[in-house]
Amino acid sequence: MHRLLQPFTVWRKKLWQTFEHFFAVHPEEGLESEIAALPYDVYDRSEAREQVKKAPGSFLAIDRPESQFPEDQDMYAPEVYQKAHDMLADWIRKGAFVQDEKKCYYLYELTMDGRSQTGLVACASIDDYLNGVIKKHENTRAEKEQDRIHHVDACNAQTGPIFLAYRKDPTIAEVTAKVKQQKPMFDFVSEDGIGHKGWRVDAAEDTAAIADAFAKIDKIYIADGHHRAASAVKVGQLRRKQHPDYDGSEEFNYFLSVLFPDEELYVMDYNRVVLDLNGQTKEGFLENAAKIFEVQPVKEAYHPQKKGTFGMYLSGQWYQLTAKAELTKDDPVEGLDVAYLQREFLLPYLDIQDPKTSKRIKYVGGIRGLSELERMVDQVKEMQQKDAVAFSMYPTSMAELFAVADAGMLMPPKSTWFEPKLRSGLFLHIL
């Protein structure tokens, strides 16, 4: 095994909340734009294959190693995960990836449409996850966890960072502003127009200030990447069983994260398309909708402007929907717009019993626009000669996400869509 894939043993400062600097593996200077890839789970299998065919130097080839096999290959077979390990080792051996000789924190700035957010790249403690210091707001599915467990374990590396959020802190903001005055370690614009910059944070006074600041923050939140986080933690637990003499300093006790201050984050709408009207006529459907909403036809695609409002696209027509005040609830979860829609309308009138598993509902990230909702509904009408219906949502806020997590509760599935997405392959954490 290449030396970079060997485990590291480092001293761990015993803090309640621990975010460690680490020996990052990252692309050789100049290769960042070629290697950086969107998260593995934004593609289905065929999309991943096409993307890797188009960009064979993309990290997606390692994140989705089934792309290296025939189309009928079992994508969860042991040889597929072994291929991911072998490719990573090969890329390291050939110099596409290098490893810093000094433990560092890093800054990762993403810029989309003129708006920037800067996160701290660090390794979070699995104990903080297990103890509830790092808070989640979504359930995970075991089958999705297993894929990443096998991937991380085979590669001996965490390849996709977990997107974490915290309430802004002046010390961290000060260090961030100082470091960003230095020359970045990478600076490129990806094909989708997103700007990416990275900096090392290696001065002793800066790393100490960051570690101390995070030690005083008692709540950290998973914004995106619940399955990656759960999988990373379970690999850490597996390694602990394999090494019963562990002392907490080993790299498998940590998982790769990027932490952002809440005020910089942008949550987009996460919209819904239901593929039929559950046997209702268009007229009957609208009558039922009027029991739950104030319904008003509008002349163009409707993007809700405030909480409690929804857009609806049905049979070529957009409507503005407003939740009826007497049906709303003052509860961190039940008070969410996505919960209102599911509870009051999708369940009783469209028979969406379980929004996590129902094959009759599709979820569309706001980045794809309202035209995608129109396209999907119109396609069902054209291909199947029946009505589908789409709902455009007002985005869930960071305050709502924090309130749910603080209450120890979980959001309905597909409640938040964060943009821009963190790229994989820019920072790797070797276990």
pLDDT at 143: 83
Domain-located, residue 44: yes
Establish if 410 belongs to a structural domain.
Answer: no
Indicate whether 235 belongs to any domain.
yes
**238 and 313 share a domain?**
no
Q: Distance between CA atoms of 47 and 421, rounded to whole angstroms?
A: 17
d(CA 270, CA 248): 39
Residue 63, domain member (yes or no): yes
Q: Are strands 134-135 and 220-224 parallel, antiparallel or unpaired?
A: parallel
399 exposure class (CB count in 10 Å sphere: 0-12, 13-18, 19+): exposed
What's the pLDDT tens digit per position in 162-205? 999 999 999 999 999 999 999 999 999 999 999 999 999 999 99
Burial class (CB in 10 A: 0-12, 13-18, 19+), 36: buried
Domain count, the chain: 2
Per-residue model confidence (pLDDT) at position 17 = 55
Is 355 found in the same domain as 225? no
Q: In this structure, are 361 and 293 located in the same domain?
A: yes
- Answer yes or no: is 405 within a domain: no
Which is it for strands 267-268 and 417-418: parallel, antiparallel or unpaired? antiparallel
Residues 241, 167 share a domain: yes
Which residues of the chain fall below pLDDT 50?
1-16
Residue 401 lies in a domain: no
For residues 169 and 274, membership in a common domain is answered with no
How far is 410 from 332, CA to CA, in rounded Å? 9
Angle at Cα 357 formed by Cα 355 and Cα 361, nearest 5°? 55
One domain for residues 127 and 257: yes
Q: What is the reported pTM?
A: 0.89
Do residues 170 and 318 both lie within one domain? Answer: no
Q: Tell me: the pLDDT tens digits for 262-296?
A: 999 999 999 999 999 999 999 999 999 999 999 99
Distance in angstroms (rounded) separating the CA atoms of residues 233 and 88 = 21
Taking the CA atoms of residue 395, residue 397, residue 400 and residue 402 in that order, the dihedral angle to the nearest 10 degrees is 130
Task: List, for residues 293-324, the tens digit of each pLDDT value.
Answer: 999 999 999 999 999 999 999 999 999 999 99
- 233 and 341, same domain (yes or no): no
Residue 64's closest CA among 72, 51, 54, 161? 51
Check whether residue 191 and residue 249 sit in a common domain: yes
Q: Is 408 part of a structural domain of the chain?
A: no
Q: Is residue 28 part of a domain?
A: yes
Q: DSSP letter at 9? A: B
Cα 38 to the center of its chain, rounded Å: 10
Q: Assess whether 186 and 304 both reside in one domain.
A: no
Q: Which domain holds residue 314?
A: 270-394
Same domain, 73 and 121: yes
Nearest CA to 239 out of 17, 9, 21 is that of: 9
Same domain? For 203 and 310 the reply is no
